[in-house]
Structure 1
């Protein structure tokens, strides 16, 4: 595609704003605020809660893995992606808003909260598939990295602001906004409705200003039949797209590790240090500052060196951070050095053990964005123009086909050992395996 066919600046910015719209779900719901609240208070036991959380993410991952290529191929056959985004964004909003009713010690009603978490996760993940598939039609191949990295950076900025809203509006003040009752953990439960409304509002610019694929004139039934037929043909001819196959296999591993380290770092810290919502929120803010910087830097590096080197550098950086976090246990850091744990008198992040954890957390934050943004760019560069949605569906498949493995392994390891630390070993193995498999990928010239 030439520069003359690029979307307008407003169209590109509105597309990138989709990352801003969905990121609070990942930041305040699945990572720093609601997930630790769920494990520690809704379930009532951090170990059992971590296992339950792992099982919900595994269930959602299996459904996304099975259906993403199907929906992607149908969207390619039908043309526009926005109707699909609206459908799945609506599911996410419904599931996420329902988290308001996740009361402490929920008891028999816990199953409905687990269902809401699965619905919210499915909705946001499918909507991301279709938004990603719009990338190649918006800008040239030589500048995809910057646009993708800008989107991820904007997303982390959105997550950062959402954290500020939760902390400064509801968690820190003695008299929170809107009469929120802290004794009922309403400041934690509010993250669900907040993320839902945020998502709904900030996808509007993308719907209005970002150009979409043109309708093919096919009916929905014809699009479904054509899409399924095309998917079957692609699967039979994957041998002709070996580069893509090698990349998707590698991504299965390193993306599982990335998602696990994002999803369980807050839970691990809450269990290890007994961090409150405020501590987790401040930690999340600091992590997001580094993630914003890393995303913008990664977008520049992607267009300068290529997507593959950017991915490998980022995954190795995350592996280093995972080893560092793995080295921290009760009273020890770096696999044996004594380090005092937090006490009521030590203040916010005042203990040596917490400070070492924070250093590795900052490294982790810096490398989140580049690995994910460059992965999105590499798929766009490897995809045939008429199969972009389908290949982004396979991209989602590679991210979800084994995505249940990490949460399931973490859940089982936590159940069997009665400890949270083995989760980090699972994460490290996945990251290093993915980085090694990237050596088989050959990136096309831009």
Structure 2
């Protein structure tokens, strides 16, 4: 086990011991299995997302300074885990803790085939930098921004009434899994690829994809050099989807074309997306994405706008809605943007929100980021009457250059369908069955 993973596990174990909670009690509060909490605390597994780590720390009453320190240790442990995975892929032996978090044992996991996102997202298919270079750059950038991220006030974008529109030019995308930042390279396809070659995005099937994870592609506005490829400096901003449900587990639904008696019990919150994908599910009602944007250097990057590109719009799926949360409390209502695509010229309309009981003034684009100045957006993309496939396009400019960064679902458009009027079920652990809510 790497020292970084040991340090991270020791920090979690210390918080757990100080809280006075047993493994079982802590697991119930975190909506995890007891074995998963054990594996985190003894270093057998490192969470793929930071969200469950933060929940763990807050349940254990960690201070603000402890949250910052824990975030830094998670970044180091996550990097050590990825190094172990790359060694294993090259024929070496992976050290403990280097397995993806989704592969850990859970007491409440579904009896379906595991569909863990590939850790091979760190590899590229063409013209990629040497494997040894990207991890160190990623690590330096993440460590530089750790304290900033911990103190950044989130912004939220609420996309209302997704309707039909221009499908965009569907640029080629590269995949990034979990919290790995999308750091575009000069050309080719892979983690954070930059490409000036347009291609239509693949249309998702009704059953959904069996893989999950964010992806982004860069489309520099400056002309490509002769012979193909983008500007040698690459795209100056990276994007990370660190959570697909930032209010977890409140309000998350999946539409499944299955009867309740054939649906296995829901897994812990960190595994719900893979669970739904394995069952052919589609995000229901809304999709809450946590998007972290960061510059690649000290040079400022101006974020000029975040655009929604609708690829397809169909009648809402006539499937059954299954809730992933029970007994949700009040959550944070962050700063939000309202987007009405029925307008002749749709744009984001800022609205004031709240953060921890305080009012967050509405703030419209532009935003500014660099390697030490990070923005976190909470995106609430929801739909009430249709089945919509869509993706995001972030417009940027820096040092005389400009372009756009495509943000999608592992190389495919996001897909969200309305749950209005659909049968709805919640899982009752005491009777081990899906039941209709009593309201």
TM-score higher than 0.5: no
Which has a greater percent of strand? 2
Q: TM-score range by the shorter chain?
A: under 0.3
Which has a greater percent of helix? 1
Q: What TM-score comes out, normalization by structure 2 length?
A: 0.25
Q: What TM-score comes out, normalization by structure 1 length?
A: 0.25
